[in-house]
Amino acid sequence: MIELKDVRWTYEGGDSAVLDGLDLSIRRGETVVVCGPSGSGKSSALRLMNGLAPHFHDGTLEGEIRVDGAPITDLAQVGRVTGTVLQQPRRQFFTDAVDTELAFALENFGTPPPRIRERVARVVAEFGLADLDGRLRELSGGQQQRVACAAAVTHGPPVLLLDEPTSNLSPQGIADLTAILGHLRDRGTTLVIAEHRLHYLRDLADRIVVLQNGRVRREWTRAEFPGLTDEMLRAEGLRGLHTPARPRMLPAYAHGPSVEAGEPSVAPRHRVGENHDHDAVATSAGPHGPADGLTLRGIRCTFLGRPVLDIAEAHLPRGVVTAVTGANGAGKTTLARILAGLQRHAGQVLHDGRPLSRSQRQREAVIVMQDVERQLFTDSVTAELRLGALPERAEQAAAVLADLDLDAFGDRHPLSLSGGQQQRLVVATARLSGRRIVVFDEPSSGVDRRHLRSMTAAMRDVAQEGAVVVLISHDADLLELAADRELCLRPIP
């Protein structure tokens, strides 16, 4: 179904090949997981399979690529036989509403309107999208991810390519996606999934292909899965095959319609480098009382008259990492935007007991967004750090880049980096920003096992300097490593 023979691909302006001698054959109806360290070429391989490279992404291509028996010279034909889900779904939307986005490909292929309506209705039911009737830009990242998955299969392609499809999904969202992928697999769809999170694919994948430096390093078959130990996966920089347990964290002090009742408090967990006397006196209202850090009072936000966030009161202490969790659509990213001064709202945000206006928060806060490509502004990694760092921290830039495994890319254009590398670069700028409020919104998209730890270290360094650190994530692996407290949100009925 898909053949890549001795493929070498270099992006225009790149100083080295991203794919270098890649040989990969995927049979019709097979489910193949492509994994490997950040920057190993996973996303680039998918872009060649769907024709986006070289037709959209410029560069130099050598070798042979065939999809469904035909070369990728005709982008329209490749689009008929493939559907694609990108890491950041906003980048692949062509319309502003769910129903028109689902119909878009069928309309382009000249499908009769009655058939379009029938097919869209069926996909809406299969993906549980009936409640998502607003504009796409008003949906949460996880909800947008569901729409992107649905839009990719509406025209019934025999091949579905997914690039980090769970990056913004809650555990329930991952379970729903797993069921849908199983259904597509049973119908004979060829699935190629680039992923760092392997646990949900344990019972779906026929093969796991590990890339490194742009070529296949090793493969494992379904029969070999039971014999893969955590040590073997760790040696390849891969996450585990078993569903990570949800970590237990101290509940943050909070109440209101948007706040999910948490589990009873548990003893604070030991963390390397943490002040244990500080932990010993910590309570759910914060280690130094409710005036220390951020206090939220009467926070309410609505979209088109519909309430999306309602927090009567909450406390986010400085010096620790507070995780904000909850279902897709619960208002987590809305809260992040409020904390950073990017979202209008009712109510007050106070820092150390003093009210902070939106404009003050824009100066005092920094946010690492879900789609970090929108936060890259310069022509080199070094310049990007210089732009966001305090002048007095400039001498720390080299060490931070080394900690995040980016020291070899100082002269590279930020947009030439892989998704995971871009994510770590924006984390590095946040680390050097010196801001008093630092928000990480789903920062582990595209991040492998090794770099989860370096990213965690950066967050903890920021917290230990006295900042209020907020981590919005569904990633249990990251939460286990990084989070001290939890504010769990729920959708407003």
Task: Tell me, yes or no, whether 354 and 400 share the same domain.
Answer: yes
Tell me if 241 is assigned to some domain.
no
- Which of 206, 235, 264 is the endpoint of a domain? 235
Task: Tell me, yes or no, whether 175 and 320 share the same domain.
Answer: no
Task: Tell me, yes or no, whether 290 and 176 share the same domain.
Answer: no
Q: Which domain holds residue 363?
A: 250-489
How much is the pLDDT for 290?
52
pLDDT at 257 over 80: yes
Task: Tell me, yes or no, whether 195 and 259 share the same domain.
Answer: no
What's the mean pLDDT when you consider all of the chain?
A: 88
Q: Which amino acid is at 375?
A: Q
Which residue from 106, 77, 101 is spatially nearest to 91, judged by alpha carbons?
101
Q: Convert the pLDDT of each residue in 172-195 to its tens digit.
A: 888 888 998 999 999 999 999 999
Total structural domains within the chain? 2
CATH number where 226 lies: 3.40.50.300
Q: Per-residue pLDDT averaged across 37-55, rounded?
A: 92
pLDDT at 261 over 80: no
Task: Tell me, yes or no, whether 254 and 171 share the same domain.
Answer: no
pLDDT at 217 over 70: yes
Tell me if 244 is assigned to some domain.
no
DSSP letter at 281? Answer: T
Degrees, nearest 5: CA angle 134-139-143:
115
How does 190-224 read in b/e, with b if 16+ C-beta sit within 10 Å?
bbbbbbbbbbbbbebbbbbbbbebbbbeeebeeee
Task: Tell me, yes or no, whether 74 and 183 share the same domain.
Answer: yes
Cα atoms in the Cβ-side hemisphere of radius 13 Å centred on 474? 23
pLDDT at 462 over 80: yes
Q: Convert the pLDDT of each residue in 104-140 to its tens digit.
A: 999 999 999 999 999 999 999 988 888 887 688 888 7
Query: What percentage of the chain exceeds 90 in pLDDT?
Result: 63
pLDDT band at 461 (very low <50, low <70, confident <90, very high): very high
pLDDT at 377 over 90: yes
Query: What percentage of the chain exceeds 70 in pLDDT?
Result: 94
Distance of CA 250 to the CA centre of its chain: 24
Task: Tell me, yes or no, whether 218 and 284 share the same domain.
Answer: no
